[in-house]
Amino acid sequence: MKAVIVDRYGRGGSNVRVGDMPVPEVGEHDVLVRIHAAGVNALDSKIRDGEFKLILPYRLPLILGNDVAGVVVGVGPGVRKFKPGDEVYARPGKDRIGTFAEYIAVAEADLAPKPEQLTMEEAASIPLVGLTAWQALIEIAGLRAGQKVFIQAGSGGVGTFAIQLAKHLGATVATTTSAANADLVKRLGADVVIDYRTDDFETVLHDYDVVLHSLDNETLKKSLRVLKPGGKLISLSGPPDPGFARELGKPWILRPVMGLLSYRTRKAAKHRRVGYTFLFMRASGDQLRKITALIDSGVIEPVMDRVFPLESTAEAMAYVDKGRAKGKVVVTVK
């Protein structure tokens, strides 16, 4: 099958090529999906660059890609919820990525029926960002009506989804974006829109319950200061904490390393009497089904920027790397 492959880790995309790989084998509880479209995420570039090679030791050559929408073409003998012909979508488990290809085998538990209202391209834009927002705002934060949440980079993939989810939960939503994208995030539900080029969010926001952090370390430090006592900062960009090592199931020796990496952040959070959690989202077909219900009922809509052919995946990743995409970028597999 045709696939987008990394033979060696390295920055810049010169190590990404289109080539042939075997069609994945189907295990007892696996579903073989003929891929129609795959979302492109910043995570793909981080994996390509080798940023996770110590904690996610993939075997090279590696097929990239973390979002998929397609049609079931085969199932393992233990599969009960899916059959050939079903339209599905997923964020495959972190150990079984590879959606920039013609086929992928996905664990049944990680898969969900595709939202009926969406095209394959739109559906492929949802799983990773949708699950990230769900796990941050609902699982970790327990966000509820009347609370205030600050979602950084509101016009990005996670931001556009998280704003809609937070608004659905009844929260007051603040976000940062450029002036050019202000109308977009307001339409999605943002109540307070801060132009990051001209204003400092720290001088505008006070006594927030939740911050969803996705930017650099300096922004993280400032984010702690906009929370009220008892508030929660959930970071998608680090530093990782000891709970992350436990979640990965890594050897005990890595836990103090993770603790050391996040020591200053956790100490600063404790000093301000707020919580700090690093989130590396996990696959979940059950949560995707709940997200599907919100999409099919019109509560949440996908926000798409550009669609590339599979052969131009390296170009699509470079476009995402610039950090200027409005919503999600997707590649299609013909």
Answer yes or no: do 178 and 225 share one domain.
yes
Does residue 54 lie in a domain region?
yes
Does residue 287 lie in a domain region?
no
Question: Residue 239: its pLDDT value, please?
Answer: 86
Answer yes or no: do 113 and 139 share one domain.
no
Asked if 2 contacts 309 with a C-beta cutoff of 8 angstroms, the reply is: no
Does residue 291 lie in a domain region?
no
Among 170, 175, 153, CA closest to 42: 153
Q: Which two tokens stand for residue 120?
A: 């394959």
Residue entry with tokens 């926000």? 303
Q: Which two tokens stand for residue 42?
A: 């910043």
Answer yes or no: do 238 and 324 share one domain.
no
Does residue 283 lie in a domain region?
no
Ranges of H-type helices in 100-200: 120-124, 127-134, 157-168, 182-188
Which residues of the chain are modeled with pLDDT < 50?
none
Answer yes or no: do 57 and 105 share one domain.
yes
* The Cα angle at residue 200 between residues 197 and 202, in degrees rounded to 5: 155
Answer yes or no: do 148 and 109 share one domain.
no
| Number of domains present in the structure of the chain | 2
Answer yes or no: do 82 and 25 share one domain.
yes
Does residue 47 lie in a domain region?
yes
Does residue 51 lie in a domain region?
yes
Answer yes or no: do 140 and 118 share one domain.
no
Residue entry with tokens 């890609």? 65
CA dihedral 264, 221, 152, 156 (to 10 degrees): -60
Answer yes or no: do 35 and 142 share one domain.
no
- In the chain the first and final C-alpha atoms are separated, in Å, by 12
| Chain segment 163-196, per-residue pLDDT in tens | 999 999 999 999 999 999 999 999 999 999 999 9
Does residue 150 lie in a domain region?
yes
**Positive/negative CA dihedral, 21, 26, 32, 37:** negative
Answer yes or no: do 200 and 264 share one domain.
yes
Q: Which domain holds residue 85?
A: 2-126+302-332
Answer yes or no: do 88 and 202 share one domain.
no
The strand ranges marked E within 43-200 are 62-63, 68-75, 87-90, 103-107, 111-113, 148-151, 172-177, 192-195
Question: Residue 13: its pLDDT value, please?
Answer: 83
Q: What is the CATH number of the domain that holds 138?
A: 3.40.50.720
Q: What separation in angstroms does the CA of 199 have from each of 41, 192, 195?
A: 27, 12, 6
CA distance 325 to 319: 7
Answer yes or no: do 210 and 263 share one domain.
yes
Answer yes or no: do 271 and 134 share one domain.
yes
CA distance 38 to 205: 36
Q: What is the CATH number of the domain that holds 311?
A: 3.90.180.10
Does residue 286 lie in a domain region?
no
Question: Residue 249: its pLDDT value, please?
Answer: 67
